[in-house]
Structures are given as structure tokens and as C-alpha cells.
């Protein structure tokens, strides 16, 4: 479903250590909330091009969800300087996403 | 960026996209603004089988095909658009969204509906509105499904397919409204029970959801029912607060229109689930969208001739 770039394997192998400012979008195929969240991320990305945004199909990588302690989608995982700094499940609009990202 | 259009359509569901097709083919400059992704409620429909042209098609796939058609006709689409203000009082209709002011000669409101919340639950991490999104978290657990229409039964089956240990579906009315085939399918599952004339009157929390209180509305008897999660499918209501004071609404908040989709304001039309009507189907949304666009075209020509 997602038109956002799938996360490259090297980022998975080192558990995001090489990412400086990124949002990881965990989603499922045929999830309507995920489809809406994807549009929000695309809009956010246009205004914040320095933030890397990657998609992760939660059904392909359930181990990551378990490791990060969440079970629902859509979920955004915010990474700063190689560290997971925030995990947020549920919908946001572009303004809410911008505010949350700026607060981290 | 030129933000002046002939026709702005608020809402990119089936009604809105059908309007866009007609508007674009009439050589109007058309914009769709949607606060989510285009498709509306059809995105939530697993399988569509009542629409002529496909024996069976997934809701999201159907939306993608319609959207491809709309985009091929040159319609501008802004998704995830936060609408801040509207002003339909002047000859030029004004909509502010995402810090941008859009203007149009005519507007079609096709913003659809949103899920009715379970009022007794309040804020709770264990209340959900989407089986695909949140069902996996309840594998091996007990869930309650509220709502005896097609959505309730379809989503209940989807939950069971994800490994729910025990499922109960309740409906407040004295009958179920889902297609008989969906009812038969759910009743054939050994780990599900269904009850009509039953409503949720209370929700018991500890550190997390523990149980619900169910009341039989015919006998007034109550029981405690243990469950780990609640999935709510009690129908839809219009999100028309932004149009209050601008358009005539009925008591439930639906937009009043005539048979030609005209609202109380000249140049503003409404189509689809957001308008007061009896049958809300993909096919009736398409019909509304068609009429609204044709009337909008006539209106635009009448003010520009």
C-alpha cells in the first residue's frame, strides 16, 4: 500500500542507529487508518524534507513491533541520532504531527 | 500557486470523486479537498459487491481506480487537508485550509460521515473502530463487538480470522441489520455469540479494560461480561460542525438539499452521505455526485454568462 520508501535493510540490521532524524511508519495492507496516515506523512514530508520517512509493513516485521512494545497500526516511531525517542499509535493530522516532531 | 477554481469539492469519497469527473469533463477547473485520504468510507469496506461493473472488488481497490480516473482528468487533489474556515456568504466561496485560501464559483460538500462513538466508554485504549488496524492485539483474547449492521458482522468475522478466542456481538435494536449471509457466517463460528436488544451501559476498568455491563433493553436485566477489548460499529454521523451557520442542517446535522442537491446557499451543493437522505450506498453517492456536478456546472455558467 505505502508509497513511502520501505526502510532499507541496513537500518533494520543496526536497529536504526544510522538514522539522525527519521520517522518510521508501521502499517498494514488494507488498513484504512494507515492509508490516511500515509497521506499525512507525505504532506508533512513536503514541508520537512530533512526528516527521513520510511515505511515498515508490520506484518512482514512483527518482531520489530514486539521489540518496540506496540501492537497497533498505524504507529509512528520517531528516531533521533540513532535512538528511538517516541512511539505514537493512532492518527494525527499534519499539524499535530508537526507539533509532536518539533517537541522531541 | 493559483488557488482559484471553478468548482471546489469538499470530500474525496465516491460522491466527491464522481462530481469531480463530471466537473472536469465539463471543462471546469476542479479541486478536491479531503481531510484524510480520498475514498471515504469505501476505504473501510473490505469487499464491494453491490455496485454494477464488478462482481466483487475490494473497497480500497475500487477507490484507487476511481481516483486514477479523476487524476487523469486533471483534477487537483489535496489530501490530509485541515480545513480551518469556510465562508459561503459571498458570490465567491472561500475555504481556508492548511494556511491557504481557496476560492471558487461553486462548492460541492461531500464530506460524508464518521463513526458514532461508544459514549459510555470515554477515552480508553481498548476501544477501537477498525478490526484490521487493531485486531491482532487481541489474538487469544476476548472482545465485544457493538453493532449489528454489515460493518459489525463483517468486522467481527475479520476479528475471528485474526485469532480472537471469544467474541460477542451485541445490537441495541430488536433485530440485526446485516446481510443474512454475514449473519450466517458469524453464527457458524463456534467461538462467537450474538445478542440483539442488548446495549452497553457501563465499562469497568482496572489498569485496563476488565468487563462491560450489558443490559437487555426488553427485560431490563443486566449482566457483567468479561472482555479485553471493544470494537464499535454503531453506524455513522455527519461531521458538519464547520457548516453550522452557513448551511441549513437537519436535527441530526445532515445537510438539507432538494432533489437537485442544492443547499440553502446558492452555488453550494451537497452530495452523498453528508446530505439528509434515506439510502446511503455507493450507487446513490454516485447519483448525488452526478446531479450536484451537473447543477454546479449550470450554476457557474449562469453567473458567468
Beta pairing class for B192-195 and B166-170: parallel
Q: Coil, strand, or helix at residue B190?
A: coil
- A67: burial class by Cβ within 10 Å (0-12, 13-18, 19+)? exposed
Which pLDDT band, with edges at 50, 70 and 90, does B123 fall under?
low
Q: Cβ separation of A73 and B46 shorter than 8 Å?
A: no
- Find cell 513536503 and name the residue: A46
In chain A, what residues touch B35 (CB-CB under 8 Å)? Answer: 93
A92 reaches B (C-beta below 8 A)? no
Please calculate the CA angle B257-B87-B9 and round it to the nearest 5 degrees: 55
We find that the CATH architecture of domain A5-103 is 3-Layer(aba) Sandwich (3.40)
Q: Cβ separation of B137 and A72 shorter than 8 Å?
A: yes
Q: If we measure between CA atoms, which residue out of A14, A50, A68 comes closest to residue A25?
A: A68
The pTM (predicted TM-score) of the whole model is: 0.88
CA distances from B232 to A12, A40, A46, B138, B215 (A): 35, 24, 35, 15, 17
A94 reaches B (C-beta below 8 A)? yes
Span B261-273, average pLDDT: 98
Q: Cβ separation of B82 and A93 shorter than 8 Å?
A: yes
pLDDT for the residue A71:
83
Are B274 and B41 contacting, i.e. CB atoms less than 8 angstroms apart?
no
Tens-digit pLDDT profile for residues B159-211: 999 999 999 999 999 999 999 999 999 999 999 999 999 999 999 887 788 99
Q: If we measure between CA atoms, which residue out of B119, B118, B138, B126 comes closest to residue B206?
A: B126
Tens-digit pLDDT profile for residues B55-112: 999 999 999 999 999 999 999 999 999 999 999 999 999 999 988 999 999 999 999 9
Q: Coil, strand, or helix at residue B67?
A: helix
Span A79-98, average pLDDT: 94
Span A14-38, average pLDDT: 94
Q: Cβ separation of B82 and A95 shorter than 8 Å?
A: yes
Q: Cβ separation of B36 and A1 shorter than 8 Å?
A: no
Instruction: Return d(Cα B191, Cα B16) in angstroms, integer.
Output: 41
Instruction: Return d(Cα A77, Cα A63) in angstroms, integer.
Output: 14
pLDDT for the residue B103:
98
What ipTM goes with this model?
0.90
CA distances from B58 to A17, B2, B45 (A): 39, 36, 7
Are B78 and B33 contacting, i.e. CB atoms less than 8 angstroms apart?
yes
pLDDT for the residue B121:
62
Instruction: Return d(Cα B41, Cα B46) in angstroms, integer.
Output: 10
Span B239-255, average pLDDT: 95
Lowest-pLDDT choice from A53-57, B93-97, B136-140: B136-140
Whether residue A74 is preceded by a cis peptide bond, meaning omega within 30 degrees of 0, is yes
Which residues of B have a CB under 8 Å from any CB of A? 35-37, 39, 43-44, 46, 58, 60, 79-80, 82, 98, 130, 132-134, 136-137
Q: Coil, strand, or helix at residue A65?
A: helix
Judged against a pLDDT cut of 80, whether residue A2 lies above it is answered with no
For B84, the grid coordinates are 480551518
Q: How far is A30 from chain B (nearest CA, A)?
A: 7
pLDDT for the residue B38:
97
pLDDT for the residue B190:
92
For B67, the grid coordinates are 481516483
For B93, the grid coordinates are 466561496
Q: How far is A96 from chain B (nearest CA, A)?
A: 11
A5 reaches B (C-beta below 8 A)? no
A88 reaches B (C-beta below 8 A)? no
pLDDT for the residue A1:
62
A84 reaches B (C-beta below 8 A)? no
**If you measure CA to CA, which chain A residue comes closest to B138?**
A71
In chain A, what residues touch B137 (CB-CB under 8 Å)? Answer: 71-72
Instruction: Return d(Cα A79, Cα A51) in angstroms, integer.
Output: 10
Span A57-68, average pLDDT: 93
Judged against a pLDDT cut of 80, whether residue B40 lies above it is answered with yes
Query: Which of B13, B34, B36, B162 to substitute to test the interface with A, most A CBs within 10 Å?
Result: B36
Q: How far is A45 from chain B (nearest CA, A)?
A: 12
Judged against a pLDDT cut of 80, whether residue B1 lies above it is answered with no
In chain A, what residues touch B60 (CB-CB under 8 Å)? Answer: 1, 30, 32, 35
Tens-digit pLDDT profile for residues B4-19: 999 999 999 999 999 9
Q: Which residues of B47-80 are buried (b: 16+ CB within 10 A; e: fewer)?
A: ebeebeeeeebbbbebbbebbeebbeeebbbbbb
Structure-derived torsion over alpha carbons of residues B202, A73, B190, B56, reported in degrees to the nearest 10: 120
Report percent pLDDT > 70 for chain B. 99
Are B83 and B97 contacting, i.e. CB atoms less than 8 angstroms apart?
yes
Judged against a pLDDT cut of 70, whether residue B266 lies above it is answered with yes
H/E stretch holding B54 reads none
Lowest-pLDDT choice from B43-52, B135-144, B271-280: B43-52
Report percent pLDDT > 90 for chain B. 83
CA distances from B96 to B82, B103, B104 (A): 9, 9, 12
pLDDT for the residue B161:
93
Span B257-279, average pLDDT: 97
- Domain segments of chain A as ranges: 5-103
Amino acid at each position: 500500500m505505502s508509497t513511502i520508501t520501505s526502510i532499507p535493510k541496513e537500518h533494520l540490521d543496526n536497529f536504526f542507529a544510522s538514522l539522525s532524524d527519521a520517522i518510521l511508519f508501521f502499517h498494514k495492507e488494507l488498513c484504512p487508518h494507515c492509508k490516511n496516515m500515509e497521506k499525512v506523512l507525505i504532506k508533512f514530508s513536503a514541508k520537512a524534507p530533512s526528516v527521513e520517512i520510511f515505511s515498515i509493513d508490520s506484518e512482514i516485521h512483527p518482531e520489530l513491533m514486539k521489540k518496540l512494545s506496540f501492537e497497533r497500526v498505524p504507529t509512528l516511531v520517531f528516531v533521533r541520532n540513532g535512538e528511538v525517542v517516541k512511539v505514537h499509535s493512532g492518527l494525527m493530522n499534519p499539524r499535530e504531527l508537526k507539533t509532536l516532531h518539533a517537541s522531541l | 500557486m493559483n488557488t482559484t477554481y471553478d468548482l471546489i469539492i469538499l470530500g474525496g469519497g465516491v460522491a466527491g470523486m464522481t462530481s469531480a469527473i463530471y466537473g472536469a469533463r465539463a471543462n471546469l477547473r476542479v479541486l478536491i479537498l479531503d481531510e484524510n485520504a480520498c475514498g471515504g468510507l469505501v476505504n473501510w469496506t473490505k469487499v464491494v459487491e453491490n455496485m454494477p461493473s464488478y462482481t466483487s472488488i475490494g473497497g480500497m481497490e475500487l477507490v484507487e481506480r476511481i481516483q486514477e480516473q479523476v487524476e487523469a482528468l486533471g483534477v487537483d487533489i489535496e489530501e490530509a487537508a485541515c480545513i480551518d474556515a469556510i465562508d459561503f456568504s459571498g458570490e465567491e466561496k472561500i475555504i481556508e485550509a492548511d494556511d491557504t485560501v481557496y476560492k471558487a464559483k461553486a462548492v460541492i460538500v461531500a464530506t460524508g460521515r464518521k463513526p458514532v462513538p461508544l459514549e459510555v466508554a470515554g477515552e480508553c485504549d481498548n476501544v477501537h473502530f477498525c478490526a484490521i488496524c487493531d485486531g491482532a492485539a487481541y489474538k487469544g483474547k476476548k472482545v465485544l463487538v457493538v453493532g449489528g449492521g454489515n460493518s459489525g458482522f463483517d468486522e467481527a468475522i475479520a476479528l475471528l480470522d485474526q485469532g480472537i478466542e471469544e467474541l460477542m456481538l451485541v445490537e441495541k435494536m430488536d433485530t440485526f441489520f446485516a446481510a443474512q449471509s454475514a449473519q450466517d457466517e458469524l453464527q457458524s463460528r463456534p467461538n462467537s455469540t450474538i445478542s440483539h436488544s442488548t446495549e452497553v451501559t457501563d465499562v469497568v476498568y482496572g489498569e485496563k479494560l476488565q468487563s462491560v455491563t450489558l443490559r437487555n433493553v426488553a427485560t431490563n436485566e443486566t449482566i457483567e461480561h468479561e472482555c479485553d477489548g471493544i470494537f464499535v460499529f454503531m453506524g455513522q454521523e455527519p461531521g458538519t460542525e464547520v457548516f453550522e451557520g452557513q448551511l441549513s442542517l437537519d436535527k441530526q446535522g445532515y445537510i438539507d438539499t432538494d432533489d437537485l442537491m442544492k443547499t440553502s446557499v446558492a452555488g453550494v451543493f451537497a452530495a452523498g452521505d453528508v446530505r439528509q437522505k434515506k439510502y446511503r450506498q455507493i450507487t446513490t453517492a454516485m447519483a448525488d455526485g452526478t446531479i450536484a456536478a451537473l447543477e454546479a456546472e449550470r450554476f457557474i455558467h449562469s453567473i458567468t454568462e
